[in-house]
Copies of this chain bind each other. A is one copy, B any other.
């Protein structure tokens, strides 16, 4: 009877949808813009309308849909209430209850990074693994942890916030979280740009980075062309992230670390700089933990949403 499930990934600019069969095959994906006006009160009705019309067009009844797994960029309580999602303007939004009422579907909610991790371990780069740390290097640093095939969400949904691990004592700029010296300030896309600018300002040394906008992309392009200044930036980035991940693996001892997000698009060179320092700082029994690049890109969240439904059935 139940033949389908939905994975839904709510982002600050768009909401992605995936319709899956219960064997985990992606049948169709689509997206709608995220309307964050008025503290995001339109987001859930927009999602419900899109789901309802898609199902109607495909002549699928709600009874044929096993459920929807929804990823949210924020802190999710066990009862499916979103405690806080800054980019959506949400505070205490009873997502699962509301979306279930509007669609007639069973709905589960999870932090978006956790859901992406679940997607990657299910059908992505960590397929056949049972434990992983998944790190997304974008504007900020997201992280989802899977142990024994289950998301590790913590006592109040704040597990995996390695972007706010303290990593630099000499940081005078404040992080969004209110602290100083968080990993996210130094090893996200934003952090790479900051490190690049600091290095450029510290000397008059010629560099390819003086001719273009400084970004994660241009930094790693310059690294590939053996630009000495860009290489120093990549070394610093690698040391911050390698050290932080060594701190994580001695706590969690996962099978694999997967790196995704915009910065990872530069390719294996990113892993090389991270692993160089990771191996220096890692607890010896964890030194050989495997590192891979993410495989599902921005679809990881919808895969994770579907998996959340399928593993309950």
Enumerate chain A interface residues (CB-CB to B < 8 A).
75, 130-131, 145, 147, 152-162, 164-166, 177-179, 243, 246-248, 250-255, 281, 283-286
A155 touches B250 (CB 8 A): no
Contacts of A156 in B (CB 8 A): 253, 285
Main secondary structure of the interface of A (DSSP, over half): loop
Shortest Cβ gap from A237 to chain B (Å): 17
Contacts of A247 in B (CB 8 A): 165-166, 247, 251
Known: A283-B177, A284-B179. A155 touches B254 (CB 8 A): yes
Contacts of A152 in B (CB 8 A): 147, 152, 252
What are 5 A-B interface contacts by the 8 Å CB criterion?
A158-B253, A159-B253, A164-B250, A178-B284, A179-B281
Contacts of A179 in B (CB 8 A): 281, 283-284
Question: Bound complex: CA of A84 vs CA of B4, how far in Å?
Answer: 47
Question: Bound complex: CA of A209 vs CA of B253, how far in Å?
Answer: 39
Q: Which of B131, B164, B283 contacts A155 (CB 8 A)?
A: B131
Q: Which of B165, B253, B254, B281 contacts A161 (CB 8 A)?
A: B253
Question: Bound complex: CA of A283 vs CA of B75, how far in Å?
Answer: 13
Contacts of A243 in B (CB 8 A): 166
A250 touches B75 (CB 8 A): no
A253 touches B178 (CB 8 A): no
**How many copies of this chain does the complex contain?**
2
Shortest Cβ gap from A254 to chain B (Å): 6
Question: Bound complex: CA of A160 vs CA of B131, how far in Å?
Answer: 15
Q: Which of B159, B165, B252 contacts A154 (CB 8 A)?
A: B252
* Known interface pairs A156-B253, A164-B284, A166-B246; 5 further A-B residue pairs with C-beta atoms within 8 A, sorted by A's residue number: A154-B252, A156-B285, A158-B285, A158-B286, A248-B251
Question: Bound complex: CA of A161 vs CA of B281, how far in Å?
Answer: 13
Contacts of A147 in B (CB 8 A): 147, 152, 154
B161 touches A283 (CB 8 A): yes
Question: Bound complex: CA of A154 vs CA of B152, how far in Å?
Answer: 12
B255 touches A155 (CB 8 A): yes
Contacts of A75 in B (CB 8 A): 285
Question: Bound complex: CA of A248 vs CA of B160, how far in Å?
Answer: 10
Minimum-distance CB pairs A-B, first 9:
A154-B253, A159-B253, A164-B283, A158-B253, A155-B255, A158-B285, A166-B281, A161-B250, A247-B247
Shortest Cβ gap from A147 to chain B (Å): 6
Known: A179-B284, A281-B179, A284-B177. A251 touches B159 (CB 8 A): yes
